[in-house]
Structures are given as C-alpha cells and as structure tokens.
Amino acid sequence: MSGWRLAALLLAVIAASPASADEALEQGKADFAKLCAPCHGVDAKGHGPEAAKLPKKPVDLTRITERYGRFPEDRVFATIAGLDMPEGHGTREMPVWGDVFVSEGVGQSTSVADALRASDDASRRIAGLMHYLETLQGAP
C-alpha cells in the first residue's frame, strides 16, 4: 500500500474515534512549538534557528494550500509520519515523526497492547499536527 493511501486510511480511523478534535489540535500546537519550530520557525514560515544549518531549506508551512491548490490532508499526514519515503532511499532532512512518537509511546514495554496503543496515539498526534498546520494556511 502506498504511503498516501495508508495515511488516508489512518486518518479515517482517527476521524471515527471519539477523542476530542480540540484536544488533538491543542496537542498539535504544543508539539509544533516544541518539535517543529526549531526548523520551521514558530510562525511555520521556515526560519527556525536550525534552518540555516540544513542543506535543504524547510518549506513555508503556511503556504501548503497555496502550493497544492487545496490542503492535501493525506499527503501532509504521510509527510509528517514518514510514510511517503521509499524504502531504502536513505534519510531526509526531517525526522520521521511516526517512528519518534511510537518509540516514545512504547518506552520499555514489550507488550503488543502497548505497541498498538502507542501506534494509535502516534497517529492521533500526527493528525493533531496536520490539523494545526491547516489552521495556519494563508497566515500573513
């Protein structure tokens, strides 16, 4: 299954779950300030303190809708999660947040239930980040 299709599927699962959308958005906002702002900048325009050190410049995340003509939820979700990376094609500048969030959630546990919960939470955090980015589209 392609990364985008998997992203669309995960998004549908999250949309069907009862967790509050406001909560996810708040978490996304907090995650962005902590994890994304170093490169993308607090205003998401790509001028974070780490940006200058990168060989590839972070893009302006307030212009996603402008660039694609609509806000491509599945694509943004896949990019953040790292689902769009072809296997074995080395690294990209941006960390693979899907892996980071799942590892954080699993911790030292070896239980399958914990792994499933962690993967669920990771999808929810990524969806929260995606929705937060959606609120920034067209920011001056």
Binding site for ligand HEC (CB under 6 A): 31, 35-36, 38-40, 50, 54, 56, 58-59, 61, 64, 67, 76, 79-80, 92-95, 97, 129
Q: 27 vs 79, which CB is nearer to ligand HEC? A: 79
Return the half-sphere exposure (C-beta side, CA atoms, 13 A cut-off) of residue 25. 10
> Of the two residues 55 and 140, which places its CB atom closer to ligand HEC in the complex?
55
Nearest approach in angstroms of CB 101 to ligand HEC is 9
To the nearest whole angstrom, how small is the minimum distance from the Cβ of residue 34 to ligand HEC?
8
Angstrom CA distances, 122 to 31, 45, 128, stand at 12, 24, 10
Query: Residue 112 corresponds to which tokens in the numbers above?
Result: 């399958």
Q: Which is nearer to ligand HEC, 29 or 117 (CB)?
A: 29
CB of 41 to ligand HEC, least distance (A): 10
State the Cα–Cα distance between residues 44 and 36, nearest whole angstrom.
Answer: 8
CB 101 within 8 A of CB 126: yes
For the bound state, the minimum distance from the C-beta of residue 99 to ligand HEC, rounded and expressed in Å, comes to 12
What whole-number distance in Å separates Cα of residue 47 and Cα of residue 31?
17
